[in-house]
Structure formats: structure tokens, C-alpha cells
Amino acid sequence: MESALQSRAIQEASALCRPFEDPVGDASRMFRAFLTAMSHPGRVVAAFGPGDYPEPLGTTGFGAALTLLDADTPVYLSPQIGTARTLANLRFHCGCPIVDEPAAASFAFMTMAEAETVLPKLSVGTPDYPDRSATALILGGGFTNNDTVRLTGPGIYKYKTLGMNAPQGFWTHLQCNADRYPLGFDTVFIAEGEIVGLPRSTRIDPTITAEEC
Amino acid sequence: MYVAVKGGEKAIDNAHRLLAEDRRGNPDVPELTIDQIREQLKLSIDRVMTEGSLYDRDLAALAIKQARGDLIEAIFLIRAYRTTLPRFGYSQPVETSDMVLDRRISATFKDLPGGQVLGPTFDYTHRLLDFMLAAEGKEIDAPETVETDTDETPRVLEILARNGLMEPPDGIETDGRSEAEKADVGDLTRDPLSFPTNRDLRLQNLARGDEGFLLAMGYSTQRGYGRNHPFAGEIRFGTVSVEFVPEELGFPIEIGEIEMTECDMVNAFAGSAEAAPQFTRGYGLTFGHCERKAMSMALVDRALRSKELGEPADAPAQDEEFVLSHSDNIQATGFVEHLKLPHYVDFQSELAMVRRMRAEFFGEDDDASTAEAAE
Amino acid sequence: MRDETITGETVPVPESGYNFAYLDEGAKRMIRRAILKAVAVPGYQVPFASREMPMPYGWGTGGIQVTASILKPEDTLKVIDQGSDDTTNAVSIRRFFAKTAGVATTEKTEEANIIQTRHRIPEKPLSEDQIIVLQVPIPEPLRWLEPREVETRRMHALSDYGVMHVKLYEDISRHGRITTNYDYPVMVNGRHIMAPSPTPKFDNPKMGNMPALQLFGAGREKRIYAIPPHTEVKSLDFEDHPFSIQAWDEPCALCGAEEVFMDEVILDDQGGSMFVCSDSDFCQRRRDAGHKGPAVEGDDT
């Protein structure tokens, strides 16, 4: 008969997903997807993750975690993302500390619906060290063909349009963020097999009117 | 006819072969063994381990052999190897009060509990070349061995601290940091140094720093550039045990013993509005037996505390950014020696401009082969 | 296992005992995060925990760490030093990556998707599919004016760049011109003054609105910075003293190219010299295509 401890161990093990097949090569490929996304804001860039993944993260979100996170990166998980399975996998595979406060995180996972409450709390760095800021990883936002925002700035030739299903008021937060430049957080939208980067340097011109910051 | 500079690859290969040949020297002379270097060039080993930040006598000996006795090159080899090693964690702080002593001297008290132990030192040798050493197989008079009792050899500065004459080991409480902040020791091999910094990172930087650089900086404080009235409170050399807490056990276990040299400098301090008059300290610690380094480090550590202690800080040794940015001999040697790399492009840019300026100076037409074009 | 690369160098399987591209995965992750920050704040120097590399500081360890962190197994790498693929340090760095990463290497600019360089940007325009990694000795453009990091960091935070303009203006009043010829300071994205590394100012205009991502690595000084593609990069100047670049009166002696950066080659001890392209790949390709400069005209060998 199994002891309580044994059954708990088995339970936890079954919660663990398998990481990248080729941990070194896949991490390098996934990082390049991130680098391309951040270098070309608004561009939909192909990305990937392991076949087995904790649900709320999705395959690409899990791939992002395996690529970017470790013991040096405090991570915030929004309520919808921070399931026991997500926690078990991030702790085991990345060894990253999980923090309760978005302000203490260097990476924050959230759904699009939760972004409005999380984004305003993220660290934006200090004038001396604008790099000491967070990266928001927003999961599940589907990219659409309806242009909702017009993007300009570094990495963008002339301008770029981006369509996305976002709650009303969402873009206001990102515009306020861009206004603080060089302070600010950086954002990556993660959908299945695709990511879009939106660094703080990108100026966002709404095709939908935004509220005052 | 001009032939473009080609054949860099062949040149490199041949340079490596020449280097190997030179390293070996005359093949009729027996080759040095790692054992010989480890046992007979101990002080070289100790310096390479200290500045290389890796305690491994055999690897240090190999590095010295490979570097043909160039210690900075050997330190470089060790550092480059060290960065590739996996890290299991940080050891517990070593307890130097429990050191099994080979040497212990104090310049501040004639006698003290446990006594002074002169140990192996050049101090009172007459620096006369010993031609007998040139002849191999010289018999050595066996030295007397003395057992020291560590219970009876407290550190001198602890004796002073007990009656309040000496500041506590981690400094007078004037730097505004809490106990928890002081306990959080940084690691400059994991995080880039940012200024202003704290004493933990300064000491780490100095421990890895170049002996010659620290010697000169320490010396400068003695000559008046940031004088801090030092006394060698205690210098001890011996063996300490290293303890580590494995995650799965949760309590410390002894993982080995290492030799270390420790220097406590006693320095005067007049006191301030908040702090009563008391002595202050400068601290030096090295792997192995690196006494000159430990003493120099203690002098520079104390000099770098001038701001914290409310002293004027205008001498080079008191300038944190200056000292810490230039103490590392691997960084320094790399950048100095990089001047050997081709700089054709930069030089050509300067050459073209100087030609033009000379032409203008001598009132000639702009006949230099380059001109400036508007973008 | 690949035996031959396009450059004809023999590439053994990656050196056993070391990770792909030498750095351990933890170091790569740390550097990768710094690179992403650098891209997000163009021209701002991100501090990073630079590792000790098996090459000396000052010899490209910053560029090497950046390259090691961005390389993926499918990449093709080109390494140049002073414009040339064949100078000893370029050979040494290229071999290092061939040995530790087993990636393909090339001398042809357009075949490479990663180009590590010291002091030059290739003459052939780069594309969006390429990344250029520049080795940087002193990343702080204000360092010659203010040696203290605490002060220069503050100046960047406040956009307090008065000292730089004063320095350039003093040049003009003393010499009638700005006397900086390489490592000529630039303003990136209208916000951060940046050191372009010791490239000749001839290359500065290439940095502005370049389609390729530009990454800068300073190992000894522990800084990484970046210019994303299509980013405004302006060389500092004054209205009455506009920025200008070097130009040569004669074409390349070997390939006849004009409007490229030239090396001067001393021919004798009587002051005889000739000028040839600094970009060796560019020059060779032109000669292969039949272009001839004055030194080889009528020469059929």
C-alpha cells in the first residue's frame, strides 16, 4: 500500500510536464523568436513550446517560461494562470521564485482579462536603471486582422498596425507605459504558436480613442 | 604587388607550436611535474588560487606549468575554468578563530593568550642567495613541531572588542544598513558591480584583486595619501574547515579543510557624534599563504571605509570606483594587451585627419588623400 | 558531423565537456534577458554579469558572450576584425564558435545571419534577417569627460548631455573641427547618447535605420546595448559644423571601389602607399566580378 507521502509524490510527478526535447537548442530557437518579436514590435512571430504543458500557460507560454525564467527571476502569476500545475512546473523546471505582488516580479504572466489589474502594478525601473523593470507576458490574446492600433518607433519601418481582441481601456495602460519612456515595462503577447512583442519604446496610436492617462 | 594580409590561421597554429616548444625548454632537462610545482612553488600556487578564486592546488600547479610561470596568465586560466563549473551553493562563513595555526603574529601586543607563532616566514632570513640550494638533494634540518591549542588563541581584535575599544567586526553602525541587509552578502561574479557599493562586495573585489596593485595602493596610504594609522593587530596563517549546508539535510556538514591567511589591521578613529572613540579595522583574507596580499588588502579595505567613517576621502586608495574598477589583473591585462590587436581602421581615421590639419597649418591646398564629405 | 564549411575550415564536432557555444545555460539566460532589455531601451547600457571567457578581456569577450547567447544551431556566422575575416583575432573567434557550437561559418556577408565584428560595419547593406554584434571596449560615451560611473549614469537618467556638446564645441574652437574620427558619439532614438564602438565615423550613417538588429557587447565593462532595426541614430553635430564622414580621393587600388572605407598600405620607405578596401570580403567579391583598381589594371595574373 502506498504511503501518503508516496501518493503525493506520484501525484506531483504526474503534474509535471516534459520540458523541451532539445533543451539547449530549443531554448536558443525560442529566444530568437523573442528577440525577433522585441526587435520588430507588432510583428506576429512564430514561436513554440513542448507538447505537454500546464494548461493555463499553453505550449508557447510554457516554452517562454523554460526559455527566460530561472532562480534569478521572481515571477508573478495572475489568479487564472497560477494553478497548482503551473506552479509545480515552473518551480520544478525553472526554479524561479513565485511572488505574490506584481511589483516584485521581473516577469508577470496574466490573461488579457487580468492585464488591466496587473499592468499598473508592474515595476517600471528607476531613472538610473530603467532595465530593472518587469516584462508582462499576456497569454491567450488572439491576433485579429482588424487593425486596432497603429505602432511607430524603434524596430518599425514607418508604421505597423496590430489587431487584437483586447478589453476596452487596455491600450490606455500601454500608452501610459510608453509615455514614461525610458521607464516602463515591456510586453509580449503569447498565443498558441505565435508571439507579438511590444517594448516600452513603441508608441501606440489608437484607431480606437483612448482615455486620458 | 601588394598581397592582402592572409594566413592568420596558419600563423596562429604555428604560434601555438612555438609556444609549446618554448614551454618545454631544453628537452635534455627533465620536465617539471605538477607535483613538483605544487610542493615546491607553494607561494605561486597560493597566489594563483587566491586571485583565481578557486581553491585547487593541482589545477593551480597545472595552470602555472601551462603559463610557463607567468602567474597572471595562470590566474586567467583558473578564472576561465572556474566560470564553467556548476555551483552547488555558498559555504558557511569560515570561522578563522578556530584556525589550526601555523603562524600567528601581533604587532600590537608583546604577549597574548596563545602566544605568538613565528611559523614559516622569510621575515628574518638574510636575503643572501643560498648557493647550497643550487646543488640538489640538500638535507633539511627537521623543524620542531609545536601543537597550538585553538581554544587559547582568540583573535587579538576580539580581545580589544570585548572592552569596547574596537569596533564590531562588521563595522560601526553608521552606514544605515539593517542587520538583515548586512547579512545579505553579494557576489560580484553573479551580479555586475554598481556604485556606490558595500563592504562585502569591496572585500570580494579586493580578495580577487591583483597583489601588486593592492600593494601599491596600500603603500600609498602609508605615505600620506589617505593615511589611516595602521597597526598589524594580527596576522594568522593556518588551516580552517569549510562547512556547507546541503538543501536536503538542512544542517552544516564539513566538506574539507583549506589553508588561509588572515590579517586584521588596527586603525585609529577619533569617534564622532554618534560613535564613542574606538579603534577601527581593516580586513584581509586570502587562500593559502599570501601574507603581503592580506596585509595590503586590509590597508585598502580600511582606506575604502573612509566615507563610512566620516573621514575626508580624497586619496586614490580611498576612491571606491577607482580602486575597485582597476584592481582586477585579468581585466587590466586584457585591456592593456588588447593594444596588440590591429587598430588599422581607427589609426587610419586619425592619420587622415592629422594630414588634413597639417596641410591647413602649412597653408597648402587640401592635397591629402582623404577629405571629408558631407553625409 | 560536418567536415567542411563554406570557408573551407575544418570544423570538428563541438568540443566535448562544454555546453553549446561554451556558456552554460544559466549565463545565456541572464545575457538573453539583458539583450531583450537592451532592445527595449535603444542605446541604454544594460549592466550584465559578464563571465570570464577563455579569451582575454578587451579582445571581444563582450561580443563573444552576446554571440554565444543568441546563436542557434542553424546559424551561419561571420567574424570580422577591422573589416577583415582573416586577421588573427577574427580567425581565433571564428574558430572558437566553430569548435564550441559547431555552427557553419562564412566570409560572405550576405550568407551570414550573425556577424560579429570589431571596428567595422560591412560595406554591403545588411538585411532584416541579419544580426550584427559589435565588440565594445568602453561602452560609456561620456567616460572621457567624466570617469565616474555614478555621475555618467545620472547624466543618462536626466538626459543631461551638456558636457558632450561642450567637448565637441571646444574641439571646434581649438581645431576648427570636431576631432573625433572613430567612436563618434550618436544619439539613439532621440533619447540616449551612445558609443558606436571604435568604428570609424564613416560607418555611423550605416547605423541609422539599418534593417538589421545591432547588438553591442562590452565584456570587461559588463554592459550590453542595442539598436533595433529601423531606429533613428544621429551623429552629434552643430548646425554650422554638420557631421561629415571620411572620403578618399582615389579608388581602391585593387578593386576600384569608391565611397568605401580604405586601409592605407605602405609600399616602400619613400612614402609610397596605396589605399585598399578595409572590407576584405567586399573587395574580393568585386575583384572576382572583374572590377580592377589602378594597381592591377592591365595585370592579368
Could you count the other beta carbons within 10 Å of the beta carbon of residue A10?
11
Question: CB distance from A31 to chain C under 8 Å?
Answer: yes
Cell numbers that stand for B374 in this block: 558631407
Please answer yes or no on whether A181 and C191 come within 8 Å at the CB atom: yes
The answer to whether residue B236 scores a pLDDT higher than 90 is yes
Please answer yes or no on whether C189 and A153 come within 8 Å at the CB atom: yes
Contact C233, C227 (CB under 8 A): yes
- How far is it, in rounded angstroms, from Cα C257 to Cα C251? 5
Q: What is the pLDDT of residue B367?
A: 46
Domain-embedded: residue C127:
yes
Question: Which H or E element spans position B301?
Answer: helix B291-304
Q: Scanning the structure block, which residue is given the C-alpha cell 530568437?
A: A32
Closest partner residue to A182 (CB to CB) among C29, C34, C41 is C41
The mean pLDDT of B216-240, rounded to a whole number, is 93
- DSSP letter (8 states) at residue B28: T
Could you count the other beta carbons within 10 Å of the beta carbon of residue B79?
24
Q: Do C59 and C136 share a domain, yes or no? A: yes
- Beta strands C46-47 and C223-227 are antiparallel
- Residues with Cβ < 8 Å from C287, sequence gap 6 or more? C254, C255, C296
Q: Is C293 a catalytic residue?
A: no
Print the domain residue range for C34.
Answer: 25-142+178-235
- How far is it, in rounded angstroms, from Cα C133 to Cα C78? 10
Percent of chain C at pLDDT above 70?
93
Q: Which of residues 190-249 of B touch C (CB under 8 A)?
A: 190-196
> Can you give the CATH number for the domain in which C73 is found?
3.40.50.11310
Where do the domains of chain B lie? 10-82, 96-122+144-172+186-327, 339-370
CA distance C281 to chain A (A): 27
Helix (H, G, I), strand (E, B) or coil at B226: coil
Question: Which H or E element spans position B102?
Answer: strand B100-105
What is the widest separation between alpha-carbon atoms in chain C? 62
Chain A positions touching C70 (Cβ under 8 A) are 28, 31-32, 35
Task: Cis check for the bond before C205: say yes or no (omega within 30 of 0).
Answer: no
The mean pLDDT of B365-373, rounded to a whole number, is 51
Q: What is the pLDDT of residue A11?
A: 61
Please answer yes or no on whether C181 and B8 come within 8 Å at the CB atom: no
The mean pLDDT of B253-276, rounded to a whole number, is 88
Which of A48, A70, A129, A131 to mutate to test binding with chain C, by most C CBs within 10 Å of its CB?
A: A131
Provide the residue count of chain C.
Answer: 301
Please answer yes or no on whether B84 and C265 come within 8 Å at the CB atom: no
| Nearest residue of B to residue C198, measured between CA atoms | B346
Q: Give helix A58-68 / helix A23-39 axis angle, nearest 10°.
A: 100
- Residues with Cβ < 8 Å from A82, sequence gap 6 or more? A56, A98, A109
Q: What is the pLDDT of residues C100-155, one digit of tens each?
A: 999 999 999 999 999 999 999 999 999 999 999 999 999 999 998 999 999 999 99
Question: CB distance from C23 to chain A under 8 Å?
Answer: no
Q: What is the dihedral of CA A119, A120, A121, A124, to 10 degrees?
A: 90
The answer to whether residue B25 scores a pLDDT higher than 70 is yes
- How far is it, in rounded angstroms, from Cα C209 to Cα C232? 6
Q: Do C29 and C83 share a domain, yes or no? A: yes
Cell numbers that stand for C260 in this block: 568605401
Q: What is the pLDDT of residue A9?
A: 58
The mean pLDDT of A85-107, rounded to a whole number, is 95
Tell me, what amino acid is at C188? V
HSE (side-chain half, CA atoms, 13 Å) at C232: 11
Please answer yes or no on whether C119 and B343 come within 8 Å at the CB atom: yes
Q: What is the pLDDT of residue B147?
A: 65
Domain-embedded: residue C9:
no
Domain-embedded: residue C11:
no
Cβ neighbourhood burial of B85 (10 Å; 0-12, 13-18, 19+):
exposed
Q: What is the pLDDT of residues B144-195, one digit of tens each?
A: 776 666 567 788 888 888 888 888 777 765 556 667 777 788 899 888 888 9
Chain B positions touching C51 (Cβ under 8 A) are 83
- How far is it, in rounded angstroms, from Cα C178 to Cα C190? 21
CB pairs under 8 A between B and C: 178
Please answer yes or no on whether A135 and C154 come within 8 Å at the CB atom: no
Please answer yes or no on whether C40 and A186 come within 8 Å at the CB atom: yes
Question: Which H or E element spans position A197?
Answer: strand A194-198
Question: CB distance from B134 to chain C under 8 Å?
Answer: no
Q: What is the pLDDT of residues A18-27, one digit of tens each?
A: 999 999 999 9
Cell numbers that stand for C62 in this block: 563582450
The answer to whether residue A213 scores a pLDDT higher than 60 is no
Q: Is C255 a catalytic residue?
A: yes
The answer to whether residue B31 scores a pLDDT higher than 90 is yes
Kindly report which listed range (A35-49, A164-178, A196-210, B300-314) carries the lowest average pLDDT score.
A196-210
Please answer yes or no on whether C278 and B348 come within 8 Å at the CB atom: yes
Write down the catalytic residue from C60, C83, C102, C255.
Answer: C255
The answer to whether residue A136 scores a pLDDT higher than 90 is yes
- How far is it, in rounded angstroms, from Cα A162 to Cα A160? 7
Q: What is the pLDDT of residue C25?
A: 93
The answer to whether residue C6 scores a pLDDT higher than 60 is no
Contact A15, A84 (CB under 8 A): yes
Q: Do C219 and C254 share a domain, yes or no? A: no
Q: Do C136 and C281 share a domain, yes or no? A: no
The answer to whether residue A6 scores a pLDDT higher than 70 is no
Average pLDDT, chain C: 91
Write down the catalytic residue from C43, C62, C217, C219.
Answer: C43
Q: Is C176 a catalytic residue?
A: no
Provide the domain count of chain C: 2
Q: Do C32 and C56 share a domain, yes or no? A: yes
Q: Give the CATH class of A23-212.
A: alpha beta
Q: What is the pLDDT of residue C16?
A: 57
Give DSSP secondary structure letters for C242-284. Answer: --EEEEESS--TTT---SS-EEEEE-STTS-EEEEES-HHHHH
Question: Which H or E element spans position B235?
Answer: strand B230-244
Please answer yes or no on whether B7 and C18 come within 8 Å at the CB atom: no
The answer to whether residue C4 scores a pLDDT higher than 60 is no
Cβ neighbourhood burial of B362 (10 Å; 0-12, 13-18, 19+):
exposed
Chain C positions touching B195 (Cβ under 8 A) are 148-150
| Nearest residue of B to residue C119, measured between CA atoms | B345
CA distance B52 to chain C (A): 11
Please answer yes or no on whether C52 and B357 come within 8 Å at the CB atom: no
Binned at pLDDT 50, 70 and 90, residue C93 comes out as very high
Helix (H, G, I), strand (E, B) or coil at A85: helix
Give DSSP secondary structure letters for B254-297. Answer: EEEEEEEEEEEEEE-----SSS-S-BEEEEEEEESS-HHHHHHH
Contact C54, C48 (CB under 8 A): no
Please answer yes or no on whether C30 and A34 come within 8 Å at the CB atom: no
Q: What is the pLDDT of residues B97-136, one digit of tens each?
A: 899 999 999 998 888 888 888 899 999 888 989 888 888 7
Average pLDDT, chain A: 91
Q: Do C282 and C198 share a domain, yes or no? A: no
Please answer yes or no on whether A156 and C44 come within 8 Å at the CB atom: no
pTM of the predicted protein model: 0.88
Q: Where does C7-153 show beta strands of DSSP type E?
A: 46-47, 76-81, 104-105, 114-118, 131-135
Question: CB distance from A21 to chain C under 8 Å?
Answer: no
Q: Do C190 and C271 share a domain, yes or no? A: no
Closest partner residue to B351 (CB to CB) among C50, C264, C265 is C264
Closest partner residue to B345 (CB to CB) among C82, C253, C254 is C82
Q: What is the pLDDT of residues B298-345, one digit of tens each?
A: 999 999 999 888 888 999 999 999 999 999 999 999 999 999 888 888
Binned at pLDDT 50, 70 and 90, residue A4 comes out as low
Q: Is C63 a catalytic residue?
A: no
Percent of chain B at pLDDT above 70?
90
Q: Do C200 and C75 share a domain, yes or no? A: yes
- Tell me which chains share at least 3 CB pairs under 8 Å with chain A: C
Q: What is the pLDDT of residue C12?
A: 41
Domain-embedded: residue C60:
yes
Percent of chain A at pLDDT above 70?
90
- How far is it, in rounded angstroms, from Cα B300 to Cα C263? 47
Question: CB distance from C224 to chain A under 8 Å?
Answer: no
| Nearest residue of C to residue A94, measured between CA atoms | C26
The answer to whether residue C3 scores a pLDDT higher than 50 is no
Q: Is C277 a catalytic residue?
A: yes
Question: CB distance from B375 to chain C under 8 Å?
Answer: yes
The answer to whether residue A64 scores a pLDDT higher than 90 is yes
**CA distance readout (Å), B242 to B238, B239, B258, C36:** 13, 10, 7, 39
Please answer yes or no on whether C9 and B196 come within 8 Å at the CB atom: no
Chain A positions touching C25 (Cβ under 8 A) are 23-24, 27
The mean pLDDT of A92-105, rounded to a whole number, is 95
The mean pLDDT of A145-159, rounded to a whole number, is 91
Q: What is the pLDDT of residues C29-43, one digit of tens each?
A: 999 999 999 999 999
Question: CB distance from B189 to chain C under 8 Å?
Answer: yes
Chain C positions touching B353 (Cβ under 8 A) are 177, 179, 181
Q: Do C138 and C251 share a domain, yes or no? A: no
Question: CB distance from B85 to chain C under 8 Å?
Answer: no
Q: Do C125 and C96 share a domain, yes or no? A: yes
Q: Do C118 and C231 share a domain, yes or no? A: yes
HSE (side-chain half, CA atoms, 13 Å) at A138: 28
Q: What is the pLDDT of residue B369?
A: 47
- How far is it, in rounded angstroms, from Cα C183 to Cα A24? 36
- How far is it, in rounded angstroms, from Cα A49 to Cα A66? 9
Q: Scanning the structure block, which residue is given the C-alpha cell 588623400?
A: B369
